[in-house]
């Protein structure tokens, strides 16, 4: 968890996300019929804010609500699910190739996954064996994102194409990692604004894996639903804190440089891609909730009510790190989480965070197994995640209230062009 969360992206101007009403669709109306053809309503959708809509529904049909009609684009320079607005439901799943499966089987699997992702993100049934779970819904801003773990390159004989950026992350003192729930040959991120649409995609991806790959681990997450607040705002995490104030925005001049591998970078097949660090961070909520409001705010360095820095102003006011109180101490404590994670306190290190909260029941002592599925995106994790986490490791006040329980690092190639599948430049290069 850092002060640079992704919800700033999801609430950026030009990306309105409102939920709406609407009656259920009549029996027999397919997802494609509900969507109609492009053109009529001009909803603002997708990472780039492109105007996409659906035509007036046929006589007797009820048009989709704005939430159901939200659509992200599969094809593009970058994969979906990185700069798209944060969705309310998510699944993370990692696969290992089975014994004997290699480059050929991996290529066939990525073709299947890409074909399935393209159809489901358009609100259409899966190419084969559709389960009808999402039959009545629109795309609901569904995104599927695919990445490769370090071991993938050994399994496929592509060691020479493995990026140096996939070198193992260093150990951190806050790590209590379960190796069985980390890493993996292949990684898939699924997000949607409808839980059934998200599960439908998860099931399709698992079925597509067939005999080529088996699930290594899988995690489920959630966020606030679009339209749940009176106006778009930065989300809160399970500690009740506004989480996402300083996330880099696509409108920033150096956004692409920080987040995406440039054309001409190494390796060439990663052009337009990004690196995802995935961490399951359990929040020790019983301990956290024993703190007073003032103590919680000093741990974070921001007011709980509105996310404003303790130095004053509003949520977006620049934090004054030199401001002192009547007793001469810093208003924002030296070990406050928000102070430590500022890019200007870390040599400019920055990353786009796009997390989901999770709750997986309770431990034997009654403590909730809940926290954050932390996902951050950067052009190079050694310049993004690692320096920030090292500094947090040395003295973050928040560290005694969280536990890093699983970890993964994945190379996420650039988006697939029309007629191409994700990872084709690597697997057929």
The residues that are catalytic are 243
Q: Can you name the residues that pair with 218 across neighbouring β-strands?
A: 93
User: What residues have CB less than 8 Å from 14, skipping those under 6 apart?
Assistant: 44, 49
Distance CA 183, CA 96 (A): 9
User: What are the angstrom distances between the C-alpha of 141 and each of 46, 72, 87, 226, 229?
Assistant: 8, 6, 7, 11, 18
Q: Which of 416, 408, 419 is nearest to 152 (CA)?
A: 408
3-state class (DSSP) for residue 67: helix
User: What are the angstrom distances between the C-alpha of 399 and each of 20, 246, 250?
Assistant: 39, 20, 29
User: What residues have CB less than 8 Å from 209, skipping those under 6 apart?
Assistant: 95, 109, 215
Distance CA 240, CA 230 (A): 18
Contact 231, 219 (CB under 8 A): no
User: Structure tokens of 228?
Assistant: 């749940």
3-state class (DSSP) for residue 376: strand
3-state helix, strand, coil in the chain (%, to 5): 25, 20, 55
Alpha helices in 5-64 (DSSP H): 7-10, 31-35
DSSP assigned state of 305: T
User: What residues have CB less than 8 Å from 23, skipping those under 6 apart?
Assistant: 62
φ, ψ dihedrals at 89, nearest 5°: -135, 140
Specify the residue for token string 């399970």. Answer: 238
What are the strands, taking DSSP E only, across 37-104?
43-45, 50-52, 89-97
User: Structure tokens of 412?
Assistant: 């996420």
How many residues are given for the chain?
429
User: What residues have CB less than 8 Å from 215, skipping those under 6 apart?
Assistant: 93, 94, 95, 206, 209
């Amino acid at each position: 968890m850092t002060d640079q969360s992704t919800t700033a992206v999801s609430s950026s101007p030009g990306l309105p996300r409102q939920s709406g009403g609407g009656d259920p669709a009549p029996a027999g109306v397919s997802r494609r019929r509900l969507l109609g053809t492009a053109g009529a309503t001009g909803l603002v959708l997708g990472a780039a804010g492109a105007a996409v809509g659906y035509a007036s529904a046929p006589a007797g049909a009820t048009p989709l609500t704005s939430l159901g009609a939200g659509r992200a684009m599969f094809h593009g320079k970058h994969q979906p699910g990185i700069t798209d607005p944060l969705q309310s439901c998510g699944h993370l799943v990692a696969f290992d190739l089975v014994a004997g499966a290699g480059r050929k089987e991996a290529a066939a699997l990525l073709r299947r996954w890409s074909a399935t992702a393209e159809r489901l993100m358009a609100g259409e049934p899966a190419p084969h064996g559709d389960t009808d779970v999402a039959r009545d819904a629109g795309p609901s801003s569904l995104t599927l994102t695919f990445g490769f773990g370090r071991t993938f390159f050994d399994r496929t004989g592509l060691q020479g194409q493995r990026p140096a950026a996939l070198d193992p992350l260093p150990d951190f003192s806050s790590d209590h990692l379960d190796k069985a729930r980390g890493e993996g040959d292949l990684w898939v991120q699924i997000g949607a604004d409808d839980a059934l649409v998200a599960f439908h995609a998860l099931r399709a991806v698992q079925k597509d894996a067939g005999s080529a790959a088996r699930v290594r681990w899988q995690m489920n997450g959630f966020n606030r639903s679009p339209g749940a607040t009176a106006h778009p705002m930065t989300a809160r995490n399970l500690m009740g804190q506004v989480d996402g104030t300083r996330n880099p925005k696509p409108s920033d001049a150096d956004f692409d440089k920080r987040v995406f591998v440039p054309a001409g970078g190494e390796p060439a097949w990663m052009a337009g891609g990004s690196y995802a660090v995935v961490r399951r961070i359990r929040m020790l909520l019983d301990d956290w909730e024993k703190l007073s409001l003032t103590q919680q705010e000093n741990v974070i360095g921001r007011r709980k009510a509105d996310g404003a820095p303790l130095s004053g102003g509003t949520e977006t006011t620049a934090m004054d790190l030199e401001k002192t109180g009547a007793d001469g101490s810093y208003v924002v404590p030296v070990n406050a989480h928000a102070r430590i994670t500022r890019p200007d306190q870390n040599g400019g290190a920055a990353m786009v965070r796009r997390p989901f909260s999770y709750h997986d029941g309770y431990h034997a002592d009654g403590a909730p197994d809940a926290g954050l599925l932390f996902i951050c995106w950067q052009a190079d994790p050694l310049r993004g995640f690692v320096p920030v986490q090292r500094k947090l490791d040395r003295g973050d006040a928040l560290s005694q209230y969280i536990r890093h329980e699983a970890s993964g690092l994945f190379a996420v190639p650039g988006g697939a062009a029309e007629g191409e599948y994700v990872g084709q430049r690597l697997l057929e290069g």
